Structure 1
Amino acid sequence: MSALALETAQTIAAATLKAGRDKGFKPLSVAVYDERGALKVLLSDDGTSLRRAEIAMGKANGALAMGLGSRALHKMAVDRPYFIAGVTHAVGGLLVPVPGGVLIKDSQGNILGAVGVSGDTSDNDEIAAAAGIEAVKLAFDTGA
């Protein structure tokens, strides 16, 4: 049984998209996974460009697979590209090592899941993901 309830994941996703709209970001896609790696919610704003949902999934899945926000994965990709290429292969290609993949944590620091966002700049994607997580009063970890 997942510690991240479906209703909570739905609220995170909706709040993420709302944050993007409120900040004037381009249309976003958001993916929310639980700690088991099960996809709980996948939403896309109207007007989102092609394959944004898959990119959002790759950001969240990569963060969850490595236990690190995707900002840290981006640094690894710059510093150790062969390692990230190997990990990407090991997780079936579903790893996008740029900001926008954010871990969801409880107050004790336990990982409850991850949010991935794609559609605007990677920094803005990350801002929207963090806002979605904050909306349910959970902690977030971008890998900064």
Structure 2
Amino acid sequence: MPNPPIGFQHGLTLDQAQRIAMETLAEGRRLNLAPLTVVVLDQAGRYKALLREDGASLLRPEIAHGKAYGAIGLGLGGQELAKRAAAMQGFMNAYSDLAGGAAVPVPGGVLIRDSNGTILGAVGVSGDVSAQDEVCAVAGISSVGLVADTGA
């Protein structure tokens, strides 16, 4: 049996996910932001990486996951999800319910795309204000040569 098994296409690699996470936190330090937590999910919405800086508050991993999961679940960046949450509250409430409460429709959830536009995963960042969280996610994604889709 070949290792890895033939037939599985993994898209976002573990190395890329780890580098995205590390660069996301590094950008937060360059900007002197509050302690951040970053979650990187693959195209199936499964964890590839999670890093929580010292001093990050209790629920930051869940919030970061919710930002990434919300984005990957609808294939829309956090900025677009926030617009839709304001315009279509009933739909977004139902979406959150269907996602088991694990969808946070705000900036800071950023899709990871390849150069062809294919979604490879998503990054969620929590710890500072959402706009700054998003800046850090974009820096992390860009650092590995992939395309950040904020939903702008």
- Residue 13 of structure 1 and its aligned partner are, at CA, apart by 0.2
Partner of residue 15, structure 1:
23
TM-score (norm 2): 0.93
Aligned partner of 2:102 in structure 1 is 94
1:1-144 equivalence runs, <5 A: 1-144=9-152
> Which whole-Å CA distance do the structure 2 matches of 1:15 and 1:91 have between them?
28
Determine the C-alpha separation between the residues in 1 that align with 2:55 and 2:99. Answer: 29
Deviation at 1:2, TM superposition (A): 1.5
TM superposition shift of 1:26: 0.6
Query: How many residue pairs end up in the alignment?
Result: 144
**SS class of match (1:131):** helix
Identity in percent = 53
**Structure 2, unpaired ranges of 5+:** 1-8
Structure 1 segments of 4+ aligned residues over 3 angstroms from their partners = none
* Equivalent position amino acid for 2:123 in 1: V
Q: Deviations over 1:20-61 (max 9, x none)?
A: 011111100000001111111010111001101100000000
Return 5+ residue gaps in structure 1 as ranges.
none
**Higher Cα radius of gyration:** 2
RMSD (CA atoms) = 0.6
Q: Which amino acid aligns with 2:37?
A: S
Q: Which amino acid aligns with 1:79?
A: A
